[in-house]
């Protein structure tokens, strides 16, 4: 099975570093200069600069059509904001291919999840997603990390186990594609509000209860979005939520911290070096909440939306939550 990775950012680089240890990888790197630097330095000189890459097992591609045509399994690791422009005309090329999305956000052009978007342009493709507490920065350092790959195709599950077979990756398989994908989207929204609480100077006690309430709200919301028996304490749900809310590597938490410290949403986004997926996700999920008429069950989503899109004071929104979540 021929495998490719789309994206040369931090997460794409981390995934390539894992796969290329024992497997050949087709890697879509758009910028010629970056490709040449990677070949020369054996590392990505822009992202995860301490992550050594086995370039002998990597074939670089500038044209995405060539990558798709020469791959059976395609791992998507670009920001959600670029998915539509990159793939909108690639439906036919993706027919009968397997797409694994490592994207933890919504497609802003049409407010869809990656699953819904890819299935809409290519109903014949096999789809799955990668989630779990697995920050790219720690994967690059080969620190113990945890991935959940969700797919209903047992043959693909077997292949994935071989590809990600390393000492520092604990791999779990799931068939809950919709649940794990939504969880990966939701945790970014929650991390923004938790970050705002940090920025405002809230203590550990409140933060702990806030994150607990985020997990409970996630469970309720998932049940409304995709009714199914699931255990929220699994790594792809609670684990990813915790690391995104607590870790200094979390760009969504970092965005929230800036907002909590007094930056406007616009200025906070401008100050970020990487885009926080939770920003677009908050708008999309809030719209789903309204459509499902479950706003009373999701006060944390509502508060985050109010801060990001209605210019509400984060201090006032968190003050309201102090008693709602207790």
Active-site residues: which are they?
A: 187
Neighbours of 309 (CB within 10 A): 13
d(CA 144, CA 146): 7
Roughly how many angstroms between the first and final C-alpha of the chain, as a whole number?
51
d(CA 180, CA 184): 6
Token duo for residue 105: 């956000």
Token duo for residue 98: 């397997």
Place of tokens 């933890």: 104
Token duo for residue 122: 């290519």
Please, what is the angle between helix 204-225 and helix 278-292, to 10°?
50
């Amino acid at each position: 099975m021929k495998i490719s990775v789309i994206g040369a950012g931090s997460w794409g680089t981390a995934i390539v570093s894992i796969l290329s240890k024992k497997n050949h990888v087709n890697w879509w790197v758009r910028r010629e200069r970056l490709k040449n630097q990677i070949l020369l330095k054996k590392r990505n000189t822009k992202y995860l600069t301490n992550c050594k890459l086995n370039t002998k097992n990597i074939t670089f591609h500038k044209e995405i059509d060539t990558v798709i045509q020469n791959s059976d399994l395609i791992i998507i690791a670009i920001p959600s904001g670029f998915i539509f422009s990159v793939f909108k005309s690639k439906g036919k090329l993706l027919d009968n291919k397997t797409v694994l999305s490592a994207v933890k956000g919504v497609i802003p052009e049409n407010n869809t999840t990656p699953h819904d978007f890819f299935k809409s342009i290519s109903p014949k493709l096999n789809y799955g997603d990668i989630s779990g507490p697995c920050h790219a920065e720690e994967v690059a350092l080969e620190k113990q990390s945890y991935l959940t790959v969700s797919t209903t195709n047992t043959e693909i599950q077997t292949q994935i186990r071989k590809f990600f077979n390393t000492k520092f990756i604990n791999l779990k398989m799931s068939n809950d594609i919709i649940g794990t994908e939504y969880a990966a989207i939701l945790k970014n929204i929650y991390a923004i509000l938790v970050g705002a609480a940090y920025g405002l100077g809230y203590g550990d006690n409140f933060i702990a209860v806030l994150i607990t309430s985020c997990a409970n709200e996630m469970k309720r919301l998932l049940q409304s979005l995709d009714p199914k028996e699931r255990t929220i304490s699994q790594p792809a749900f609670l684990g990813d939520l915790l690391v995104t809310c607590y870790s200094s590597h979390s760009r969504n938490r970092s965005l929230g911290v800036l907002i909590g410290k007094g930056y406007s949403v616009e200025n906070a986004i401008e100050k970020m070096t990487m885009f926080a997926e939770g920003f677009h996700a908050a708008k999309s999920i809030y719209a789903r909440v309204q459509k499902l008429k479950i706003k009373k069950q999701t006060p944390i989503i509502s508060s985050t939306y109010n801060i990001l899109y209605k210019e509400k004071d984060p201090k006032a929104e968190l003050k309201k939550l102090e008693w709602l979540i207790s």
